[in-house]
Amino acid sequence: MDPEIAAFARTFTTFLETVHQGITSDGSALTSLGTRVRDFLGVELSQVDPVAEEFPSLRAVDVDLALQTISAESAGTTIGVMGAQRAHVDSFQELLLRTHANFEVGPVSYLSVPTGPDSERRVIAFGIGLLTFDGVPLVVLQRAPNRRFGRDTYSLEVLCPNRDTLQVFLVKVRALMVQNSVLRGKVISFQTDDYGEQPMGSSMTFLERPEVSADQVILPEGVLDRIVRHVVGIGENRETLLAAGQHLKRGVLLYGPPGTGKTHVVRHLLSNTTGTTAILLSGRTLALMNDATKLARATQPSMVVLEDCDLVAESRGGDTNAVLFETLEAMDGLDGDADVTFMLTTNRPDLLERALAERPGRVDLAVEIGKPDQADRERLLDLYASDLLAAGHISDDAISVAAERTPGVTASFAKELIRRCVIDAAREDRPPRDADLLSALDEMLSDAHAFTRTVLGGEAAGFLGGTYPIG
């Protein structure tokens, strides 16, 4: 290295060390903001190192609410930051030391974040809390994610002259996040873009809890009761099971052809578990299994739903069993006393068999949701045509004929049949009648609609005139 360059490097390094460690007592190396923080802490900033904590962006409201609760207990205040290039600053110390610009006290920046299907809360996006905790002054910098500058998490940086107090403070923050989580009891889904990113405010979606009663779920006798008993009953007997040394965590696999009602069963379980946090994963969001498991642990009782879990490999670009092993490991990472249900649905149980066999105990109930027999097809048609039957537009005899003529179809087919019956009548501006139902049935069973039957979960004609099972 050139001697002049080496000399400059040594001089510059000495300068940075002086700025970081040798702040003068009159605060000349501090920004206006730094002087305010130093005066509040009552010690030179060279004696205090910030401790950083990062949280997933979906926990931003929980973090903000926890800090607000603690601040209110000590009549704390919150200040903002003014200064050019504020968003570019990487650390709290850069705001306090006069290395770039003279950052000053300014207004607090806020961001609105959803807390439910129809609610939201303002959280601090960039602000500094000045508070007293256990009699010790403490300063907290809160910053929201900013993907433009490479920050994907909601972060805290804490300054406190007493390390023990600081650690107790962070423990209380995490405890309050669990105790007062706005996510508990909600139904949550996620979104990702083409790169698997989760921008704050759009990555998490709150859904209305569905309302699906037991009489709206048409399954062979005893099947639904068995599922509900395993999912709901274990939670209802939590204390008894724990006292007997039994685990609460459970895994349920619903398998069967497309369109048979697996998702409908899940919707019934969600409607039957008010107060339980539900985390729904499907498609690309199956890759968020680890994050979902952490959230489920923090907001139990909870349910993690992995819909079409055989597609998890496709979302991760790997072998089905290898990726499913990873998913099962995430399930296994929870303690047995965690009141968490994992609900898996699949159209291809054959793709999961090896992974499940090599990881026994992760799934403790597997239930086939098969195609309905004639009696259940008639019950399905009665359900979807209930308003038409009540009004006398469609007869029970027509429903029976339709059920008899549709072996091998699924609930999706039955639902679409009734819808087409109503549409055909609406085109003529009149109520539906038996002839409309049977005409729609003839059309859907015709060769011209073979592919439609396929996508509705029936059996489709093969390219060579044969048939092949779907799913």
- Burial string for 46-60 (b: 16+ CB within 10 Å, else e) reads eebebbeeebbbbbb
| Of the candidate ranges 14-18, 145-149, 295-299, 305-309, the one whose mean pLDDT is the lowest | 14-18
Portion of the chain with pLDDT greater than 90, in percent: 58
Helix pair angle (411-427, 374-384), 10° resolution: 40
Confidence of residue 460 (pLDDT cuts 50, 70, 90): very low
- pLDDT at residue number 6: 61
- pLDDT at residue number 166: 96
For residue 24, CA distances in Å to 46, 96, 100, 183, 279 come to 10, 13, 18, 46, 53
Question: ω into residue 301 within 30 of 0, thus cis?
Answer: yes
Burial class (CB in 10 A: 0-12, 13-18, 19+), 391: exposed
- Burial string for 247-281 (b: 16+ CB within 10 Å, else e) reads bbbbbbbbbbbbbbbbbbbbbbbbbbbeebbbbbb
Model confidence pLDDT, tens digit, residues 399-451: 999 999 999 999 999 999 999 999 999 999 999 999 999 999 999 988 646 76
Alpha carbon distance 56, 172 (integer Å): 18
Alpha carbon distance 264, 284 (integer Å): 21
| Of the candidate ranges 49-53, 59-63, 173-177, 241-245, the one whose mean pLDDT is the lowest | 241-245
- pLDDT at residue number 99: 73
Model confidence pLDDT, tens digit, residues 181-240: 999 999 999 876 655 555 444 478 999 999 999 999 999 999 999 999 999 998 888 888
Confidence of residue 388 (pLDDT cuts 50, 70, 90): very high
Neighbours of 306 (CB within 10 A): 26
Q: Which domains does the chain have, with CATH numbers?
A: 3-179 (no CATH), 187-368 (3.40.50.300), 374-468 (1.10.8.60)
Model confidence pLDDT, tens digit, residues 145-194: 887 777 788 999 999 999 999 999 999 999 999 999 999 999 999 876 65
Which is higher by pLDDT, 285 or 222? 222
Portion of the chain with pLDDT greater than 70, in percent: 83
- pLDDT at residue number 283: 78
For residue 252, CA distances in Å to 205, 309, 338 come to 24, 12, 15
Mean pLDDT of 319-336: 68
State the pTM of this model.
Answer: 0.81
Q: Do strands 277-281 and 302-306 pair parallel, antiparallel, or not at all (unpaired)?
A: parallel
Which is higher by pLDDT, 5 or 293? 293
- Mapped to the 3 state alphabet, what secondary structure does the chain carry? CCHHHHHHHHHHHHHHHHHHHCCCCCCCCECHHHHHHHHHHCCCHHHCCCEEEEEEHHHHHHHHHHHHHHHHHCCCEEEEEECCCHHHCCCHHHHHECCCCCCEEECCEEEEEEEECCEEEEEEEEEEEEEEECCEEEEEEEECCEHHHCECEEEEEEECCCHHHHHHHHHHHHHHHHHCCCCCCCEEEECCCCCCCCCCCCCEEEECCCCCCHHHCCCCCCHHHHHHHHHHHHHHCHHHHHHCCCCCCEEEEEECCCCCCHHHHHHHHHHCCCCCEEEEECHHHHHHHHHHHHHHHHCCCEEEEECCHHHHHHHHCCCHHHHHHHHHHHHHCCCCCCCEEEEEEECCHHHHHHHHHHCCCCCCEEEECCCCCHHHHHHHHHHHCHHHHHCCCCCHHHHHHHHHCCCCCCHHHHHHHHHHHHHHHHHCCCCCCHHHHHHHHHHHHCHHHHHHHHHCCCCEECCCCCEECCC
CA 223 to chain CA mean position, Å: 28
| Of the candidate ranges 121-130, 278-287, 297-306, 331-340, the one whose mean pLDDT is the lowest | 331-340
Model confidence pLDDT, tens digit, residues 111-120: 999 999 999 9
- pLDDT at residue number 71: 95
Residue closest to 412 by CA, chosen among 442, 445, 384, 446: 384
Which is higher by pLDDT, 100 or 223? 223
Model confidence pLDDT, tens digit, residues 2-15: 667 766 756 665 55
For residue 204, CA distances in Å to 191, 226, 271, 283 come to 6, 32, 20, 15
- pLDDT at residue number 464: 30
**CA-based end-to-end distance of the chain:** 67
